[in-house]
Amino acid sequence: MKLIHIKLSILVAAFISLTSCSSDDDNTSDALTGENNVSLEFDNSMNGDDLILGTSTYTNSNDETLTINRLNYIVSNFVLIDEEGNEFIYPKDESYFVISEENALNEVVLTNIPAGKYVQMRFGVGVDQEKYQQGAEGQGDFLQIAEENNMMWAWQAGYKFLNFEGTFTAPSIASSTDFKIHMGSHGNTLDNYKEVTVNLPSTAMVSDEMIPLIHLEVDANQILDGEHKIYLSEAPVVMVDEVKSPQIAENTSTMFEVHHVHNGEGGHH
C-alpha cells in the first residue's frame, strides 16, 4: 500500500513539473518585446502561372491571349492588425511604394514595427486623396520614384495606380495588338483608390529577434478577368474612363492573397 502512495507521489510531482515547464515556455513565447522589420514579398502571377514579361502568353476566360510587357502598381498606407484587433498604422509619409515587375521591385520593408503577433494586414492600392491634395511639394521622394517607374501622368492628372501593358489577340483580332491599362484617380473628380484587407494564414511574429516575411501571391489575371470582365477587343487602351476605370480598380483590389508567412530570426528566412 505504501508503495502505491510513493508511486502516486512521484507521478503527481512529475505532472506538476511538466505543467510548470509548459507554463514557463508559454510565458516566454508570449513575451515578445522590442521592434523589428516586416518584409513583404509581392509574387506576381497570371492565373496560377509565374508572370514572365515579354515571352510567355496567358489566355483568360474572355478568350483573349495576352503577352505582358509591364506590370507596375502602387501599394500604400499599411496597417498591421494583431490577434486582439489592435492596429499599428505605419507612418503615412513613409507608406507609399511602387511594385514593378520590369524593374525587379517586388519587396517592401516596413521598419520599426512594434513587437506583436499580427494576423491581418490592410493596405491601399494607389494614392489616397489626402496625400494627393498635399500637392507636388508634399509627396516627398515618392514623386520621383513614381516618375522613374512610369507611374505618373502630368501632375494635375495624378498618379497611375496601375500600369499594365502588353499585346493581345482575340477571336475577332488575329494580329498581335498593343494594349495599355493605366488606372488611377484623376484629380479629385474620379477617385479609384481602394483598400485591401488580407488574412495571414499563420501569425507574423515580431520582436527584437523575429523578422517575419509575408509572401503575397498577386494574380494579375484579375485585372481584366475578375468580377468585371474587361474586353481588350472592345477597348485596348483604358486610361480616363468613367465606367471601365472604376471597374478595373475594383478588379485590381482582389488580386492580393497571402500565401504564407515565414518567421525568421535575426533576418534569416
Neighbours of 74 (CB within 10 A): 25
pLDDT of res. 155: 76
Banded pLDDT at 258 (limits 50, 70, 90) = very high
Q: Cβ distance 65 to 225 under 8 Å?
A: no
User: Does the pLDDT of residue 264 top 70, yes or no?
Assistant: yes
User: Does the pLDDT of residue 56 top 80, yes or no?
Assistant: yes
pLDDT of res. 7: 45
C-alpha 91/C-alpha 142 separation (Å) is 14
pLDDT tens digits for range 196-225: 999 999 999 999 999 999 999 999 999 999
**Taking all residues of the chain, what is their mean pLDDT, rounded to a whole number?**
89
Cell representation of residue 3: 508503495
Calculate the CA dihedral of residues 36, 212, 258, 123 and round it to 10 degrees: 0
pLDDT of res. 171: 95
% pLDDT > 90, the chain: 81
Q: Give the residue-averaged pLDDT of 133-158.
A: 91
Q: Give the residue-averaged pLDDT of 117-126.
A: 98
User: Does the pLDDT of residue 63 top 90, yes or no?
Assistant: yes
pLDDT tens digits for range 10-48: 444 444 444 444 333 333 346 889 999 999 999 999 999
DSSP 91: P
pLDDT of res. 190: 86
Helix residue ranges, H only, the chain: 2-30, 129-132, 142-148, 222-225, 244-252
pLDDT of res. 265: 65
Burial environment of residue 181 by CB neighbours within 10 A (0 to 12, 13 to 18, 19 or more): buried
User: Does the pLDDT of residue 5 top 60, yes or no?
Assistant: no
Amino acid at 181: I
Phi and psi dihedrals of 9, rounded to 5?
-65, -40
